[in-house]
């Protein structure tokens, strides 16, 4: 357990946290080989202001505002002929609060290369159906932690566990180091 003392709005706060580092300077939570603001674990951000923590590369920024889900349709019947009702997760919302809108139905040729038409909408092509998972991931389409394509990040304890000169960030392999970020405003 690590205790950190910080001043916030005139009050002294003691922040307790479990060290998330795993070992040495090649991915074990120390700043070895990283530039200012880069991280592998929360400990790498400890000297930075504003309660910053480590976020994996490309992580969404989170929000300080409540979800504003917009339900423009409930089913295909609410859309004009030839359109389909598509649910999506808007910014600052969760899958429990989806928004929806009417979109044109897909065809065999209207979807992006990493998508397939399910008869109504373009959906992500599964790695079980030909999508090539990117570096530092493997195909595990039935894994609950898999992304929309069925790819799962390789687990690691240090950079050496990651292929292609990857970085071990918060226990999973990435092509770049994480970044220190403050809380959402």
Residues 61-90: tens digit of each pLDDT = 777 667 778 889 999 999 999 999 999 887
- Asked if the model's pLDDT at residue 24 lies above 60, the reply is no
pTM of the full predicted structure? 0.65
Rounded to an integer, the average pLDDT of 148-171 is: 92
CA distances from 124 to 5, 96, 118, 146, 167 (A): 45, 20, 10, 12, 27
Nearest to 60 by CA among 29, 35, 91: 91
Kindly calculate the radius of gyration of the chain based on its CA atoms and give it in whole angstroms.
21
Q: Would you give the distance in Å from CA 149 to the centre of its chain?
A: 14
Q: Give the separation between CA 21 and CA 157, rounded to whole angstroms.
A: 8
pLDDT at res. 13: 32
Distance CA 30, CA 41 (A): 8
- For the record, the structure tokens of 86 come out as 């598509």
Q: Closest Cα partner for 21 from 50, 46, 41, 37?
A: 41
By the 8 A CB rule, do 148 and 137 touch? no
For residue 106, the SS3 value is coil
For residue 25, what pLDDT is reported?
41
Which pLDDT score is estimated for 172? 93
- In terms of C-beta density within 10 A (0-12 exposed, 13-18 middle, 19 or more buried), how is residue 140 classed? middle
36 phi and psi, to 5 degrees?
Answer: -55, 130
Q: What is the pLDDT of residue 36?
A: 86
Taking only the tens place, the pLDDT of each residue in 112-158 is 999 999 999 999 999 999 999 999 999 999 999 899 999 999 999 99
pLDDT digits (tens, 9 = 90+) for 26-69: 444 444 688 888 999 998 888 776 778 899 888 877 776 677 78
Residue 50 makes CB contacts below 8 A (sequence gap 6+) with 182, 183
Q: Which residue has the higher pLDDT, 94 or 136?
A: 136
């Amino acid at each position: 357990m690590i205790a950190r003392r910080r001043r916030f709005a005139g009050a002294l706060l003691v922040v307790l946290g479990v060290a998330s580092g795993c070992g040495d300077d090649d991915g074990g939570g120390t700043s070895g080989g990283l530039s200012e603001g880069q991280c592998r674990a929360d400990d790498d951000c400890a000297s930075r202001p504003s309660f910053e923590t480590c976020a994996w590369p490309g992580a969404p920024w989170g929000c300080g505002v409540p979800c504003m889900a917009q339900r423009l349709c409930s089913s295909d019947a609410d859309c004009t002929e030839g359109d389909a009702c598509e649910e999506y997760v808007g910014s600052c919302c969760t899958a429990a609060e989806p928004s929806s809108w009417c979109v044109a139905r897909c065809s065999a040729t209207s979807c992006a290369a990493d998508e397939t038409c399910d008869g109504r909408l373009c959906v992500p092509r599964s790695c079980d159906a030909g999508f090539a998972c990117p570096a530092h991931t493997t195909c595990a389409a039935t894994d609950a932690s898999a992304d929309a394509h069925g790819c799962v990040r390789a687990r690691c304890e240090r950079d050496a566990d990651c292929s292609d000169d990857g970085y071990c960030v918060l226990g999973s392999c990435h092509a770049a180091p994480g970044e220190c970020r403050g809380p959402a405003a």
